[in-house]
Amino acid sequence: MNDETIITGPLYAGRKKVYPQATHGTFRSIKWALLVFTLGVYYLLPFVRWDRGPNLPNQAVLIDMPHRRFYFFFIELWPQEVYYFTGLLILAAMTLFLMNAVAGRIWCGYLCWQTVWTDLFYAVERWVEGDRRDRIMKDKKGWTLPHIREVATKHFLWLMIAWWTGGAWVLYFNDAPTLVWQLLTFKAPAIAYTWIAILTFTTYVFAGHLREQTCIYICPWPRIQAAMTDEWALNVAYERDRGEPRMSVKKAAHARDKGEKVGDCIDCQQCIAVCPTGVDIRKGSQLGCIQCGLCIDACDNVMKEIGRPPHLIYYDNDINVERRANGLAPVYRPIRPRTLIYPAMIALVGSVMLYQLTTRSNLGVNVLHDRNPLAVTTADGGVRNGYTVRLLNKQPNDRKIDLSVDGAPGLKLDIVGEGTGSSVTVGPDQTLELRVLVSAPLGTVPAKAVPVTFTAQDNPGAAKVTKASASDHFFPE
């Protein structure tokens, strides 16, 4: 008879509620500064004005869906310029990779929107219900009337923050002051209320309830980051060789009197208490650690109180963790191939985007040659080719466009429906499709197909002229 092991109880441990404790120090101050800056930009940027001239919106950052435009201060992007957004995604990815190469999950700890909004929600929770110990005691006592009042107040404030988060988002899609007034008077489009409701719900759920679970179980970046990092990247680490063996201050004093080895860690567990994900950094790098540095501040405060050197927990690389265990001096390599390649790629993509942005034209032309027939013989013995030409006016005003063709001697261009003229007016922010005939008189017909260039010119004869061109071929009979 084979022995059988009977497993009783759940296979997985239940979720333990995390009660992050407030702390102060260098990294907490950095997080507060970044929180104020990032949220200030998000909430206030729609109200910043930028004068672009007549017939153009004066909101600095605006996604103008009706006119298919994206405005960012002096930059204006059109739908056909989707490659700029591709470039921005590449820049964002390379920046994230660079941050990972330098200091691990520093993005997660300081700049990720989940971290920023959760930090804000934690601040509201502490303000209303008290710090870690107060919240634990109130939860143990159960639902008393004062506790119910505090919890209701907290959730109301959370919903207000979430509501304004959703409200600020829709302001990027319309003139902010106008839309705010429409929202307050219930005259805004239904789509605005719909998106505010969606983003209110998601912000409230993710920042108020899911919290650290988002970082551990939902976000894919921790797993991607773990595969991309190396042993030289700085991560929050516990100096085990200095901290062990752990013991209280009183026991440490007795141990020193006996000549025994004593570590600096007094096992106060303040590093765990302040961690937003409840990680014990003394157990080494873990998936739940978002590298926020709050445990560093908490530990440094304790070390200061007991008169021991700071930085028992600090940003360090895996190489030094091993070197210190072997009694060797720490070494750092901030400059290495990956910290050079990523900035080089950022500079390259950024330069290409900047060049394209500064050299682009707000006038476009496209040419398509008739497929059948390729050429027609005219009554005077010449040859005529037919083309479909599309002119694109990317400005908010009417523009007179002169169309010309060159590439072979004697070519003559006529726009069908415009008599014998070669000029048309294109409306603001419009595309105009034209039927164009190009003729070569007898004696100037090329012996074989030759490339020709169509040039669209804005304001012919003016001091400032905008040109755009497109090429095709002229075919003989």
Contact 161, 201 (CB under 8 A): no
- Which pLDDT score, from 0 to 100, does residue 462 have? 55
Omega of the bond leading into 373 within 30 degrees of 0 (cis) = yes
- Which pLDDT score, from 0 to 100, does residue 15 have? 65
- Which pLDDT score, from 0 to 100, does residue 474 have? 86
- Which pLDDT score, from 0 to 100, does residue 10 have? 57
What's the CA gap between 309 and 297, in Å, rounded?
13
What's the CA gap between 313 and 389, in Å, rounded?
68
- Which pLDDT score, from 0 to 100, does residue 115 have? 94
Tokens (6 digits) for 372: 């059948």
Sheet arrangement for strand 75-77: 61-64, 69-72, 75-77
**Extents of the domains making up the chain:** 26-228, 235-325, 363-474
Within 132-285, residue ranges assigned H as helices are 132-141, 145-170, 176-184, 190-205, 212-213, 221-228, 240-243, 249-257, 270-273
What's the CA gap between 242 and 268, in Å, rounded?
16
3-state helix vs strand vs coil in the chain, percent to 5: 45, 20, 35
Count of C-beta atoms within a 10 Å radius of residue 47: 14
- Which pLDDT score, from 0 to 100, does residue 1 have? 44
b/e for 109-129, b at 16 or more Cβ within 10 A? bbbbebbbbbbbbbebbbebb
What's the CA gap between 278 and 17, in Å, rounded?
9
- Which pLDDT score, from 0 to 100, does residue 418 have? 63
What's the CA gap between 429 and 80, in Å, rounded?
13
| Averages of pLDDT over each 10 residues, the chain, 477 residues | 52 70 95 96 94 85 87 85 87 93 91 94 95 92 92 96 94 93 91 95 94 88 85 90 87 85 90 92 88 94 93 91 82 91 94 87 87 85 89 84 86 77 81 89 84 83 66 84
Which CATH entry fits the domain spanning 363-474: 2.60.120.10, 2.60.40.10, 3.40.50.970, 3.30.70.1520?
Answer: 2.60.40.10
- Which pLDDT score, from 0 to 100, does residue 460 have? 59
Bridge partners, residue 386, by sequence:
437
**Does pTM top 0.85 for this prediction?**
no
What values do phi and psi take at 421, rounded to 5?
A: -80, 165
Tokens (6 digits) for 448: 């074989």
Burial of 472 (0-12, 13-18, 19+ CB in 10 A): buried
